[in-house]
Amino acid sequence: MDTYIVEGGEKLYGKVKVQSAKNTVLPLLAGAVLTDEQVKIRGVPTINDAENMLRILNEVGCKIKRQDGNVIIDSSGAVSHEIPQRLTKELRSSVFMLGSVLTRFCRAKISYPGGCDIGLRPIDLHLSGLKRLGVEIVEEGGYIECRADKLVGAEILLDFPSVGATENIILAAVKAEGITVIRNAAKEPEIVDLQNFLNAMGAKVRGAGGGTVVIEGVKRLHGVDYTPIGDRIEGGTFLIACAVCGGEIELCGVPAENISALLHKLRENGCKIHTKNDKIVLRSDGKLKSVDLVETMPFPGFPTDLQAQYAALCCKVKGTTIIVENLFETRYKYAGELKRMGADITVRGRTAVIRGVERLHGARVTASDLRGGASLVVAALAAEGRSEILNLSHIDRGYADFERKLKKLGAKIRRVRI
């Protein structure tokens, strides 16, 4: 089992180039099944979630080649409409394969997807959207089986602006007969990137990022050479770490508008932030003040995927912060681990009250999910003394070369096997 050993108390200085966005790369990989021609996706990070998605593609018959950090997918030999259970249980985003495999084979079979245990995260919105496109769905024995003689465009109103449901419906609709309109669609930058990727393949998708997405079905898609956007969640994690540790970093690859809610809060905390194009420079003396309230919301609100990391920052500010998690039911599993480091946190349902303390101390803690694990790293960097962070497989799901990037900024962190 791999463990991080962190000697806290160091300020962070330097430049960080963020990886390609995990939450974009996964639906793009699924979208490669939509064409018989070669798809090249540049800068695919070596994270566990991407590797699992590539294994799924290989299982359905795609040929995968890695070349200089890029991934080349040839799906001309794809023959299977079934997604293996042993892989779906490890990856929530395997559900994206429903839309693309349905488009390819007019049928798909998948077991209920896994991933981080941060709440129920039902896929009802995915399935109801697919039904509107003419898909017959049978749920039995832990499997979802979908069939459609043909996919037909439809008007779809999402009860909630779900990122996954929006992306899955787009993937299913790009070659459907007629026009599909998704209302109350998610507005995240990753939706815009999926639109741009598919349009580069010959699709006709418009409106992404604005709440209403219109897809005009086309008969075929061609290959593409595509570079995804930068990972705003990875970038936000580094900004939060620098804010609480003190120092100055330049983040490259994330436009400010993609994480404006976080930047607003960090400015309130007392950080100095300058932005230009896709560069963000943050300066902090590490002596932060609290903000009253943080509520997670769909984009452009505060990202749920940065809630845990920001909570780690709140543990070491002057004053009290209330965090309300509006998207997932059980996203405070990290709270007990932060308490081991001296944090003062009270959790009631979806609300956490964090009273800042003067200092955190090193401790042995365990990651229970991806973003909660990242929050433990942030806290360990800001703590006094030595911390051990166990169960890195969760962190490896979304952060590539995490410790190497932190070391370049001056952090004392190393990975050991125990």
Contact predicate 361/384, CB 8 Å = yes
Taking each helix axis as running N to C, give the angle between helix 22-31 and helix 189-200, from 0 to 180 degrees, rounded to the nearest 10. 30
Ramachandran region of residue 417, left (φ > 0), alpha (ψ -120 to 50) or beta?
beta
Q: Tally Cβ neighbours within 10 Å of residue 138.
A: 11
What helix, strand, coil percent values describe the chain, rounded to 5?
Answer: 35, 30, 35
Q: Which helix (H) or strand (E) holds 170?
A: helix 163-173
Ramachandran region of residue 61, left (φ > 0), alpha (ψ -120 to 50) or beta?
left
Does residue 349 sit in helix, strand or coil? coil
Active site members: 116
Give every CB contact of residue 159 below 8 A, 6+ residues apart in sequence: 125, 184
Tokens of 217: 């079905």
CA distance 275 to 387: 33
User: 191 to each of 29, 165, 208, 361, 394, how far by Cα in Å?
Assistant: 14, 11, 6, 40, 24
Strands (E), 325-385: 344-348, 351-355, 364-366
Contact predicate 131/154, CB 8 Å = no
